[in-house]
Amino acid sequence: MNSKITVETIRGMKARGEKVAALTAYDYPTGKLLDECGVSLLLVGDSVGMVVLGYPDTTQVTMADMEHHVRAVARAKPNALLGGDLPYHSYETVETAVANAQRLVAAGAEFVKAEGGQEILPQVRAIVAAGISFCGHLGMLPQHVLEEGGYRIKGKKEDERQRLVTDAKLLADAGAFAIVLELVTPPVAAEISKVISVPTIGIGSGPDCDGQILVTHDLIGSFPWFTPRFVKPRANCAAEIRSAVAGWKSSLDAVGR
């Protein structure tokens, strides 16, 4: 049996030149299946709001939602490192950030993730000081999609590039063990990956990050109503489900004749 993957395992992968393979999971069977596939890191992301709960974006996801889904995946007892997102408005102060991070850990998370750079450094330092592992998230910040008016690639402008590089360095210095880069223009993602000591985990940010993360529903084609442009589905589970149900219904009709 493989040894349990820890935060230190993920940190060491960068030094060894091993890519971090990360995927989202929101329930027990998915977590168990992905873990059996040897995924290094499982994230109970607040993307659960869109692909499971039917919300238009992540801003309506609550702490109760996150605790519920973290508990479900944690019951799979994955070998992979398991983390959970701190949802919108759950880390606005140092006190609420630590308290809510502790709630996710109590539910089974081995690390927490939050969006932002310089503006959340006090929260990051407090979470780490409380003995909780922290993963950063820079670039496109889905929890800010309403105020930004949509999703767009970050880092094309020089001021954005400078801010991203600075924020990444600050998060690493504050104790983040890894940083997700979402929709960061690939040259900037590559630059960040070179100048910080902790792994970068990209999503729509090019091939030069230290790892990649995808929403599992996008990877396997089980949310056919929308697929991000940067994702190449490796399966079409929606078509398989429709085919299976159609076949089952036909068999019922045949029996009834």
Residues known to be catalytic: 182
Burial-class residue 45 by CB neighbours within 10 Å (0-12, 13-18, 19+).
buried
Taking the C-alpha atoms of residue 13 and residue 138, their distance in angstroms, rounded to an integer, is 20
What is the Cα Rg of the chain in Å? Answer: 19
Instruction: Look at residue 141 and give its three-state secondary structure.
Output: coil
CB within 8 A of 246, min separation 6: which ones? none
C-alpha 88: how far from its chain's center?
Answer: 14
CB within 8 A of 104, min separation 6: which ones? 66, 67, 70, 84, 86, 112
